[in-house]
Amino acid sequence: MKIALACDHGGLKLKGEVINYLKEHGYGYEDFGTCTAESCDYPDYALPAAEAVASGKCDRGIVICSTGIGVSIVANKVPGVRCAHCHDTYCAEFTRLHNDANVLAMGEKVVGTGYALKIVEKFLTTEFEGGRHQRRIDKITAIEKKYCK
């Protein structure tokens, strides 16, 4: 599985910890930046990561800023992306089970590093249940088609 990663300056430290986790657990990844602590604009990094997931270049994505909110808004503007802003393992598990979320958003200032890595683990190891949930995903896709012309 290949993971698209992105952050702004507010998520740089946590992104580094996520990279270490991915390496330790044998995941491939592509880092879309930022790579410095200099102030920057999160859309410049979250957008290409989300596009990589939507295009199939990457299987899933993880985007990080101070709160996780800004990067999740950006990622969800990309048709085909279902980005979930998670701050606990329960949400990470159920967004995969029920929503087939393909991008995880987190906030470095919201969740501690150790727990953030448990959220990442749940997000990456939980598979979509399908079944009745697929009907709902199909409705989301229809909404995208209606408004993203």
- Residue numbers annotated as active site: 65, 98
Return the CA Rg of the chain. Answer: 14
Measuring CA to CA, which residue among 96, 77, 78 is closest to residue 86? Answer: 96
Under DSSP, is residue 139 helix (H, G, I), strand (E, B) or coil? helix
Strand partners, 103: 61, 83
